[in-house]
Amino acid sequence: MKSVVQLDRVTVRYGRQQALRDVSATFPPGAVGLLGPNGAGKSTMLRALLGFVVPDQGQMRVLDLDVKHAALQIRTRIGYMPESDAHIPGMNAVSFVAYCGALSGLPHSDAMQRAHEVLYYVGLGEARYRNVETYSTGMKQRIKLAQALVHDPDLLFLDEPTNGMDPKGREEMLELIRDIAHNKGLSLILSSHLLPDVEYTCDYVVVMDKGTVATEGPIASLKEHSGRVFELRVKGEAAAFVEVLHAAGLECHETEEDIMRVFVPGTGEPDGQDARRLFQLAATHGMQVRHLRASVPTLEDVFARAVGER
């Protein structure tokens, strides 16, 4: 199979608001990150693929099946972990997960057996007889993953799976997701606005912004940049210096820690020349360089460049 999900010129409108604008994208098998800021259209894309939202135009295929005509067949083979807190009220964890298995077509005894297995797998084995409504936020995230896994789907849609989790829980959830994608033979699409989550678990990324696909490709190749990346901190008007850098043809974005990341396109000049060029620009414009260090490209850089270019 070449791809697990294909979108061809898909547009989704909520009233006058266009949530997806003429989106075309291909998701290969394996772990794919659907990355973008809040409101970029990630959840809308997943909801359209599930059939919750009907696109105004365009075609979508999931696991080689047309979403419009084979929605039920598709849902037999996918698992969905919604972003918001969601459960069946009044059930304990085993009953809930087994119920979801039965809804997906598993015979009752098989559904029950798999519910126990999956709950152990996601780390809720000891709490499986507790009512889901008494669970903490982290446990609720895990049970949402369990209900998505119980019928052994070929493809998982995970919508912000680490939302509201403490650092340890988040780490464990990411380990689970990584294990599912890399050791269990399932494909998954991880929708998130958290770059480290996507970078840790996925091999391929689709970056979305304002309802369109900003860039897509294997993370490793997107991170390859024909040039150098520097971390830079200056004393003075940083915003004005960013303009100077842009005018000089250098890409640049600020991070949360008052440090800007500067991309110097490859010029074939020897090592040290790029750094010297930055120092010269700073000196010319009366800025003091307080920190300059060569860095390696990250997914954050890819994201910033993709979204920043637009």
Partner 1 sequence: MPIHDQGYRRYEGRREAHGHTWLVITRAGIMERLRERKFLGLLLFAWLPFLVRSVQLYVASNYPQASFLNATPAMFRDYLSQQGVFVFFITLYVGSGLIANDRRANALQIYLSKPLTRVDYVVGKLATLLIFLTFVTWVPGILLLLMQILFAGSLAFLKANLFLFPAITVYSAVAVLMSAFTMLALSSLSKSRRFVAVMYAGLIFFTAAMYQALRGITGSRAWLFISPGDVLDVIGNKIFRSTEPQNYFAAALVTVVVLLAASVLVLERRVRGVEVVT
Strands 155-159 and 260-265: unpaired
User: Which tokens hold the place of 293?
Assistant: 């260090």
Question: Shortest CA distance to 148 belongs to which of 167, 182, 176?
Answer: 176
27, 121, 135, 241: residue in contact with partner 1 (rule CB under 8 A): 121
Number of residues that bind partner 1 (CB under 8 A): 47
Please, is 4 exposed, middle or buried when counting C-beta atoms within 10 Å of its C-beta (0-12, 13-18, 19+)? Answer: buried
User: Which tokens hold the place of 279?
Assistant: 């120092």
297: amino acid identity, one letter: P
Can residue 104 be called a binding residue for partner 1 (CB under 8 A)?
A: yes
15, 167, 270, 272: residue in contact with partner 1 (rule CB under 8 A): 15
User: Is the CB of 158 or the CB of 252 nearer to partner 1?
Assistant: 158
Select from 60-68, 77-85, 241-249, 293-301 the region that touches partner 1 (CB under 8 A): 77-85
User: Is the CB of 88 or the CB of 283 nearer to partner 1?
Assistant: 88
User: Is the CB of 156 or the CB of 259 nearer to partner 1?
Assistant: 156
Can residue 117 be called a binding residue for partner 1 (CB under 8 A)?
A: yes
Can residue 100 be called a binding residue for partner 1 (CB under 8 A)?
A: yes
Tell me the C-alpha distance between 42 and 216, whole Å: 14
Does residue 295 sit in helix, strand or coil? Answer: strand
Residue 131 DSSP class: B
Select from 176-184, 230-238, 242-250, 278-286 the region that touches partner 1 (CB under 8 A): 176-184
8, 152, 231, 254: residue in contact with partner 1 (rule CB under 8 A): 152
25: amino acid identity, one letter: A
- Site map for partner 1, 258-287, x if CB under 8 A? ------------------------------
274: amino acid identity, one letter: D
Can residue 52 be called a binding residue for partner 1 (CB under 8 A)?
A: yes
21, 87, 233, 285: residue in contact with partner 1 (rule CB under 8 A): 87
The 288-295 sheet, strands edge to edge: 251-254, 260-265, 227-235, 288-295
Strands 260-265 and 251-254: antiparallel
Tell me the C-alpha distance between 300 and 200, whole Å: 12
**Residues at the contact surface with partner 1, assessed by CB under 8 A:** 14-17, 47, 50-53, 72-73, 75-76, 78-80, 82, 84-90, 99-100, 102-107, 110, 114, 117-118, 120-121, 133, 147, 149, 151-152, 180, 183-185
